[in-house]
Structure 1
Amino acid sequence: MTQHVRPLHGPSTDFTATDIRDTARRLLDMEPLPPIVQAGHPVLRQHAAPFDGQIDDEELHALIERMREVMHAAPGVGLAAPQLGLPLQIAVLEDQYQIEPASAAARNREPLEFLAVLNPSYTAVGPESASFYEGCLSVSGYQAVVSRPSSVQLECLTPDGTPFEGVYSGWQARIVQHETDHLMGTLYLDRAELRSLSSNAEHAARWSGPGIEDARAALGFLRS
């Protein structure tokens, strides 16, 4: 059984292939690492251009490595090209962080090996959903509860152009959805329970437990 996921698309980018190539080359030349674009920048609200060879193979692999470096330095578990100001459908994902066992169990969070995806899309698998606090490197300082399908099928191209399909569950599915959404011009706040919105400091002090029950009761969201 598949579940419909509400599409939230921004307007298509007006970047030409030349604009994309030039921006990618600037990112590769930038020292130190390029900054992560923050909410309010138009690139985060645009439907990124599908990758179709705007940069050559050498530049593509260098860009993916640069994105991985920025993701690690942040630190984060995913990064999409628009978060570096480049409206191109490329994202990198990796989750190797050790977290408290109760939280890992509640969130069904298992390590995710490094994955670079081009032109990704996802479809929910089954009717189950899960609600947890989620943050974003482009919405610095805040977290909010997002309800997402518990399992999704990812379809994309690998960097060498090979079609890829895979089913992801738990926290891995959340990462897949979050980063793919970025390429459509969607931020996690578009899908969030806004009454749950918390600063990182308040989240750490009050709502960092395995589940969201205490936050739901105190902040008044996700009521049936």
Structure 2
Amino acid sequence: MTGWTGGVAPALRDAVADLLDVAFAHPDRPGVLPIVQAGDPVLRAPAAPYTGQLGDQLDRLVEAMRATMHAAPGVGLAAPQVGIGLALAVCEDHPMPGDPRERDGLGFRVLVNPRYEALPADGDEPGAVAFFEGCLSVAGWQAVVARPRRVRLTGQDETGAAFDDVLTGWSARIVQHETDHLAGRLYLDVAESRSLTSNDNMMRFWAQSPDPAPAAAGLGFDLP
């Protein structure tokens, strides 16, 4: 028994099944799906709430999205990024002790119909923090985005079970980024435009530290 309130949408389920059949048949990269790039309307349309439309194909889609995220590589992927306009995303990040972005690790999880809200500053910690972000659907570029350091995340997992969690640091940033995708927003919509840098220039000028302060000084933008 699941927590889905709607029935299967046969045409959509069959279309997704066909897409997954092709992906899992690939001899070298089984399950890896093509990633949609900026300019495709699917990335700008609010995703439809997931209510059970995919039936028995949901688990296969989650598996394929995880494979695609790892192959990219990335720390999150939303269904619209593989051309499917449903409110689903996957995320996972490995811990990096001592990283100023607070990369404490995020175990693999599936976000269904997620929502987030910013939480107040925790003690002496800042309410918002700014770091470079990239996006698998804006390949080759990064930009600085200021986001809430702590968020409350609600939604469902892949079984339909509800969750209500508080996330901090890089994990909070990941779920904000992916949830924004489901509302038709890209990180560029909220990025500091003067910080936009190619991946090559990121490595050349700004990759020595995750701290964006040198980039802010060199490129002429303010940090929160």
Q: 1:77 aligns with which of 46, 53, 75?
A: 75
Contact 1:50–1:119 (Cα < 8 Å) also in 2: yes
Contact 2:102–2:169 (Cα < 8 Å) also in 1: yes
Secondary structure at 2:193 match in 1 = strand
Q: 1:22 aligns with which of 3, 14, 36?
A: 14
- 1:113 is aligned to 107
Q: Tell me the distance in 2 between the aligned counterparts of 1:149 and 1:20.
A: 35
- For 1:44, the aligned partner's letter is L
- 1:64 is aligned to 62
Greater mean deviation of Cα atoms: 108-117 or 135-144: 108-117
Bigger relative CO (Cα 8 Å, ≥ 6 apart)? 1
Residues 110-165 of structure 1, C-alpha deviations (whole Å, 9 max, x = no match):
11100001000000011400000000000000000000000000001111111111
Contact 2:194–2:220 (Cα < 8 Å) also in 1: yes
After the TM superposition, which segments of 4 or more aligned residues of structure 1 sit over 6 Å from their partners? none
**Kindly tell me: are residues 25 and 124 of structure 1, through their superposed partners in 2, closer, same or farther at Cα, counting changes over 3 Å?**
same
Contact 1:80–1:179 (Cα < 8 Å) also in 2: yes
Residues 142-201 of structure 1, C-alpha deviations (whole Å, 9 max, x = no match):
000000000000001111111111000000000000000000000000000010000001
- 1:173 is aligned to 172
- For 2:101, the aligned partner's letter is R
Alignment of 1:24-103 (within 5 A): 24-31=16-23, 32=26, 33-56=32-55, 58-96=56-94, 99=96
Q: Tell me the distance in 1 between the aligned counterparts of 2:133 and 2:221.
A: 15
Please give the TM-score of this superposition, normalised by the length of structure 1.
0.87
Q: Tell me the distance in 1 between the aligned counterparts of 2:63 and 2:139.
A: 23
- For 1:147, the aligned partner's letter is A
Q: Tell me the distance in 1 between the aligned counterparts of 2:87 and 2:194.
A: 31
Shift of 1:18: 4.9
Contact 1:20–1:87 (Cα < 8 Å) also in 2: no
- For 1:45, the aligned partner's letter is R
Q: Unpaired runs of 5+ in structure 2?
A: 1-8, 27-31, 122-126
- For 1:69, the aligned partner's letter is A
Q: Tell me the distance in 1 between the aligned counterparts of 2:78 and 2:15.
A: 14
Contact 1:20–1:88 (Cα < 8 Å) also in 2: no
Residues matched between the structures, number: 204
- 2:221 is aligned to 221
Residues 51-78 of structure 1, C-alpha deviations (whole Å, 9 max, x = no match):
011111x311111011000000000000
Secondary structure at 1:134 match in 2 = strand
Q: Percent identity?
A: 52
Please give the TM-score of this superposition, normalised by the length of structure 2.
0.87
